[in-house]
Chains A and B, each alone.
Chain A
Amino acid sequence: MPPVPTTEAAPVRVRSLPPAPHRRRRRSTPLLGRLWHFGLFAAPGVTVYACFVLAPIAVSFGYSLTNSNPFNPPTRFTGLHNYAQLMHDTEFWTALRVTTILTLLVTIVPNVLGLGIALLLDRRGKFYNALRSVFFTPVILSSVVVSIVWSRLLDANGPVNEALRALGWHDPPGWLSDPDYALYSVASIISWQMLGFCVVVYLAGLQGIPQELIEAAALDRAGPVRRFRHVVWPLLAPALTVNTVVLLISAFKTYDYIKVITNGGPGAGTTATIAFNVLQTGFDANHVGYASAMAMVMLVIVAAATAVALRILRSREVNL
């Protein structure tokens, strides 16, 4: 969950940076000096990034054009065969559907609930700070710990169902063992963990809104609903952008929860995400070529979704 630490109204300052003359001066430094500067400051980071992110993507693309399988040599070039096979693979389409549902739920639910709780906690003082910490604590927990705890809670005979039975629901479903519910249960668990993140980002957004604007709207006899709709909500646009993009990216690569809670089941891949299938196919079944093709499709989808989301959300943002 990479947070984007520029939620608040910084643009004013950025624009008042020292002007260009300096930059022209910098250009005139000798070529050797600039190379040395690059080698000293940029090269180490760029090299590691290139070796461990960029090159592997290229290699992965290369693998995706072969039938590579370390336990079944020789490896041959098969062109787009893996991609064609993917299009007819029902398992892949199921995974795509599971990933889409999960991503939508995990992007929307914590966003909506987070906004509600942020509005509720939007007061100064130790009491509200303490409550904010309660909501934030799951964010710093490991997804493995969260998964194990919730598997216990939602077990068919776990505390949740015990409580439901005590309340008179005689036959509550196995939240994680029933194929009809498992995906939604996993989405709820992830939402529980990410909720605090949204709360904190929205709270910061709310506390960055100039009080004068709200008072001015109140003087114009705008009620709480209209003040929210026309003043607060538009000014929360940067917070919405941060939350949506972070949730989108992290939900899309959901793996840990699936691995620990359901291992892709119950039934045939009812909770298997693409991220989960890539690693199962690549490392457990050793179909490296096919898994790489899956990974490439995944990369294209997440890049496209992020770009679209950023474009839409950014266009809503206003500068004060």
Chain B
Amino acid sequence: MTGRFEWVRPLVATCLSAVFFVPLYLVLANAFKPGDKISGSPASLPWPPTLDNIQAVLTRPDRLFWVSLTNSVLITSVSVVILTVLSAMLGHYLARSPSRWARVLTLVLLAGLMIPPQVILIPISDVLRAVHLMGTVPGLVLFNVGYYVPFGVFVFSGFIRTVPLELEDAAKVDGASPAAVFWRIVFPLLRPASASVLIFLGVWIWNDFIDPLIILGPGRGTTITTGVYRAVGQYQSDFGSVFALMLLATLPVLAFYLALQRHFVKGLTGGATKG
């Protein structure tokens, strides 16, 4: 489909992505600008660049950044590891089980993909309060596991259907237990699906706002995302710190994305079914 006007394509594409990129540029540039320049000329180049904002965020006396970073890393990594293991096993069970009620169970789980958190947050806060987990990291992790298990099962069970049964059968004939078959034979084959689940759930849980806001509550419990939200409320005038905090909150997830970019796109688009 190369026509006479093919040379226009890169031109238009470049212009469009430049316009599209403006808000991202704004975060980058303003994190390195002194406060008065942010309100005065927000779109100007950060020249000469200053590290004052970043330093101010990193050395805050209440250690907001470090506390919320630790919380976010802990919550995200623990949730994602548990989710990968649980949903791989559950997905395998459902994809391989011949019974009708396994199919019903699959449907019930998939319905969970569309349930808005608002529908369940009120009762969940009651449940967590009853078991004294409201306002704690384990409480939020438990909620994450329950809420995101449908997505994990969805990815894994779809992928497992493309893994040949013969491998499992051969191991079973050799006398391996179901658990051994799963961990030694099946799970290593599921690596692309595991990558998708890790990546997507990692980004979602890192960026999650409403659930940590309500479950961790207004006390000292804060994640990096709710921390950014709070910083805006506290420092109406000091936008230098807000932009620096936003940049610092985004860097880990951006690095994660750039490192795993290939898998990201695959996971989004049926890489899961192609292997």
Residues of A bordering B, CB below 8 Å: 2-8, 10, 13-14, 17-18, 22-23, 26-27, 37-38, 40-42, 44-46, 48-49, 51-57, 59-60, 63, 117, 120-121, 123, 127-128, 131-138, 140-146, 148-150, 152-153, 158-159, 162, 192, 195, 197, 200-201, 203-205, 208, 214, 218, 224, 227, 249, 252-253, 255-256, 259-260, 274-275, 278-279, 282-283, 288, 291-292, 295-296, 298-299, 302-303, 306
Contacts and interface: CB of A to CB of B under 8 A. Distances in A.
Interface string B103-131: 00100110111111111111110110000
Contacts of A295: 116, 118-119, 122
Given A8-B274, A63-B122, A144-B229, A128 B13 contact: yes
Given A7-B269, A131-B14, A141-B207, 6 more contacts: A26-B96, A42-B105, A133-B261, A203-B269, A278-B119, A298-B119
Contacts of B269: 3, 5, 7-8, 200-201, 203-205
Nearest to B112: A53
Contacts of B196: 5
Contacts of A197: 268
Given A2-B113, A131-B14, A142 B118 contact: no
Given A8-B274, A197-B268, A53 B118 contact: no
Nearest to A282: B122
A226 B125 CA distance: 55
B190 to A, nearest CB: 13
B94 A200 contact: no
A130 B26 CA distance: 19
B262 to A, nearest CB: 10
B1 A214 contact: yes
20 contacts: A2-B154, A5-B267, A6-B270, A7-B270, A10-B274, A18-B164, A40-B89, A48-B86, A48-B149, A49-B149, A53-B146, A120-B16, A131-B17, A141-B207, A142-B206, A145-B27, A148-B228, A192-B23, A249-B113, A260-B229
Contacts of B203: 140
A41 B124 CA distance: 25
A5 B273 CA distance: 7
Contacts of B1: 214, 218, 224, 227
A311 to B, nearest CB: 14
A280 to B, nearest CB: 10
Contacts of B257: 137, 140
Q: Select the residue from B161, B165, B268 with max chain A CB neighbours within 10 A.
A: B268
B93 A253 contact: no
The main secondary structure of chain A at its interface with chain B is helix
Interface in B1-21: 1, 3, 9-10, 12-14, 16-17, 20-21
Given A8-B274, A48-B86, A53-B112, A3 B268 contact: yes
Contacts of A51: 127, 146
7 closest A-B pairs by CB = A52-B146, A204-B269, A45-B90, A253-B116, A8-B270, A56-B120, A142-B207
Contacts of A143: 207, 209
B254 interface: yes
Nearest to B258: A133
Nearest to A289: B122
B270 A60 contact: no
Interface in B247-275: 249-250, 253-254, 257, 261, 264-265, 267-274
Contacts of A6: 158, 270, 272-273
A152 B42 contact: yes
A283 B207 contact: no
Contacts of A292: 122
